[in-house]
């Protein structure tokens, strides 16, 4: 499990560097763990060069190298733990049927999927006051038959399925069907994942990845303390916001190399936290933010948020109420990172998904939603010990916190699930 967590963490920061732009005024919000699981679902049916490229970009190859030839406890643990409760569509028990009987499940992709199954089941068993919806699903043109073994693996490990639709003869109905499913999985928060004309009659395989998360603060912000305030994007650019305020004991630290503060805001029952990085002492907030983004790595973030660097102190916290909804067409991003074959009809080898040699991935879409207010936080969430990188903005009041970027962290022992800026 630790190797899978490490692989996802590296992918998180690699993806962040590709998604981030030179304009720090543009927010970034993504969930690397859910996306990693979605691409792991494709990896289960990928072969030859298509499989190798996914392994390299998502660092799955390092996962398999670390496993070596040692006996693997994955199945035994899965059988002992059971599935737990979950609101994930298609949740299946990863016990009895998780026997890896098929040839595809005996190779590295089967072992990888087994660990994803453990991870998703462990997440589902965490008994805290939050709602997590991960909508991962493949939609394939019905002319391409799906291998029964592959479908079994997707259901067992990834708690979802593969839907056959009629892209060629009824494109609009297929689009509406996908949008309706995503909206239902996100409790109505994510609407119109695919706009009109975003899917056409040449589409053959679509990977949908949407995330919605809602949790309550351990220490609520009193609505009576929320005020109208000015939020500083830069020296010259300001924004009027609803600023939430509270005083309390929080874990806080300082990052010397960046001249930045780091604050931990716990969610209810202490199972997960929001970790916020606030550049300080700079006349230009955006430049300070850019400097933070250039320097952030998993190792550094782990050190900055460690118990050695953070301690509990009384802090006056000012935090903007905000809503973020982001959507990414990941085809060009993943291709730029090195995953190219699966998007090319002449090179894709997805014969583990369908026996047809002409199947390829037409589109990968990642959609996230987050809403932060006084009483709860609604947002896509990653599972993890720490998140990627992100934030919102900061003001200038001395002795108080207001910010510009934020990172989310999970503490249960799963690992990084999402990041937003």
Of 257 and 253, the structure prediction assigns the larger pLDDT to 253
Q: Would you give the distance in Å from CA 228 to the centre of its chain?
A: 32
Q: Which of 35-49, 175-189, 293-307 has the lowest mean pLDDT?
A: 293-307
Average pLDDT of span 35-56: 95
Closest residue by Cα to residue 222 from 318, 312, 131, 323: 318
Crossing angle between the packed helical segments 108-125 and 74-81, to the nearest 10 degrees: 30
Contact, 127 vs 82, CB < 8 A? Answer: no
**Any idea what the Cα angle at residue 410 is, between residues 404 and 412, rounded to 5°?**
165
Q: How far apart are CA 273 and CA 5, in angstroms?
A: 18
Q: What's the pLDDT at 251?
A: 94
pLDDT higher than threshold 60 for residue 19: yes
- pLDDT > 70: percent of the chain: 72
Q: What's the pLDDT at 284?
A: 62
Give the contacts of 110 (CB within 8 A, at least 6 positions apart).
44, 100, 102, 104, 153
Q: What's the pLDDT at 108?
A: 66
Q: What's the pLDDT at 126?
A: 65
Q: 351-370 pLDDT, tens per residue?
A: 999 999 999 999 999 999 88
pLDDT higher than threshold 80 for residue 405: no
Q: 67-94 pLDDT, tens per residue?
A: 544 434 454 444 444 433 334 333 344 3
Q: What's the pLDDT at 275?
A: 86
pLDDT higher than threshold 50 for residue 7: yes
Q: How far apart are CA 274 and CA 264, in angstroms?
A: 6
Q: What's the pLDDT at 24?
A: 62
Q: Which of 209-213, 264-268, 382-386 has the lowest mean pLDDT?
A: 382-386
pLDDT higher than threshold 70 for residue 174: yes
The DSSP symbol for 219 reads: S
Domains in the chain (CATH in brackets) are 2-216+324-371 (3.30.497.10), 223-321+382-420 (2.30.39.10)
Q: How far apart are CA 128 and CA 84, in angstroms?
A: 13
pLDDT higher than threshold 50 for residue 396: no
Mean pLDDT score of the chain, rounded to an integer? 77
Q: What's the pLDDT at 397?
A: 29
How many other CB atoms sit within 10 Å of the CB of residue 195?
A: 10
Q: What's the pLDDT at 110?
A: 75
pLDDT higher than threshold 90 for residue 144: yes
Q: How confident is the model at residue 129 (pLDDT cuts 50, 70, 90)?
A: low
Of 30 and 380, the structure prediction assigns the larger pLDDT to 30
Q: Which of 27-41, 165-179, 356-370 has the lowest mean pLDDT?
A: 27-41
The DSSP symbol for 68 reads: T
- pLDDT > 90: percent of the chain: 39
Q: What's the pLDDT at 234?
A: 67
pLDDT higher than threshold 60 for residue 119: yes
**b/e map 77-108, b = 16+ CB within 10 Å:** bbeeeebbebebbebbebbeebebebebbebb
Q: What's the pLDDT at 107?
A: 57
pLDDT higher than threshold 90 for residue 302: no
Q: How far apart are CA 342 and CA 361, in angstroms?
A: 6
pLDDT higher than threshold 90 for residue 176: yes
Of 415 and 133, the structure prediction assigns the larger pLDDT to 133
Highest mean pLDDT among 38-42, 371-375, 411-415: 38-42
Of 77 and 155, the structure prediction assigns the larger pLDDT to 155
Q: What's the pLDDT at 260?
A: 85
Of 207 and 241, the structure prediction assigns the larger pLDDT to 207
């Amino acid at each position: 499990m630790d190797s899978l967590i490490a692989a996802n963490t590296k992918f998180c920061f690699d993806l962040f560097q590709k998604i981030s732009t030179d304009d720090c005024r543009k927010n970034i919000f993504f969930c690397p763990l859910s996306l990693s699981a979605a691409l792991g679902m494709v990896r289960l049916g990928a072969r030859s060069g298509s499989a190798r490229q996914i392994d390299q970009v998502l660092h799955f190859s390092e996962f398999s190298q670390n496993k070596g030839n040692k006996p693997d406890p994955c199945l035994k643990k899965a059988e002992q733990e059971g599935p737990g409760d979950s609101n994930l569509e298609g949740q299946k028990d990863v016990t009895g049927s998780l026997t890896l009987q098929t040839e595809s499940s005996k190779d590295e992709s089967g072992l990888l999927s087994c660990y994803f199954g453990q991870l998703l089941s462990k997440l589902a068993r965490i008994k805290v006051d939050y709602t997590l919806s991960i909508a991962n699903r493949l939609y394939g043109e019905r002319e391409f038959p799906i291998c029964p073994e592959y479908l079994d693996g997707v259901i067992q490990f990834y708690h979802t399925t593969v839907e056959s639709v009629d892209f060629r003869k009824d494109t609009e109905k297929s689009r509406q069907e996908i949008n309706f499913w995503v909206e239902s999985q996100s409790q109505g928060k994510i609407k119109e994942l695919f706009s009109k004309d975003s899917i056409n009659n040449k589409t053959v395989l679509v990977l949908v990845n949407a995330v919605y998360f809602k949790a309550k603060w351990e220490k609520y912000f009193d609505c009576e303390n929320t005020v109208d305030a000015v939020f500083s994007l830069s020296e010259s650019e300001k924004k009027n916001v609803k600023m939430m305020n509270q005083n309390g004991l929080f874990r806080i630290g300082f990052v010397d190399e960046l001249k930045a503060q780091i604050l931990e805001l716990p969610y209810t029952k202490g199972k997960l936290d929001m970790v916020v990085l606030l550049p300080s002492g700079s006349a230009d907030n955006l430049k300070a933010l850019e400097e933070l983004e250039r320097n952030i790595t998993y190792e550094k973030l782990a050190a900055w948020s460690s118990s050695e660097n953070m301690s509990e102190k009384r802090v006056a916290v000012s935090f903007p109420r905000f809503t973020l909804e982001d959507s990414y067409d990941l085809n060009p991003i993943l291709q730029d990172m090195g995953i190219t074959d699966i998007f090319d009809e002449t090179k894709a080898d997805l014969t583990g998904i369908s026996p047809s040699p002409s199947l390829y991935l037409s589109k990968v879409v990642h959609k996230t939603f987050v809403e932060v207010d006084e009483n709860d936080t609604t947002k896509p969430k990653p599972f993890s010990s720490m998140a990627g990188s992100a934030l919102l903005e900061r003001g200038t009041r001395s002795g108080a916190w207001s910010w510009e970027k934020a990172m989310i962290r999970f503490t249960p022992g799963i690992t990084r699930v999402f990041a937003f800026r």
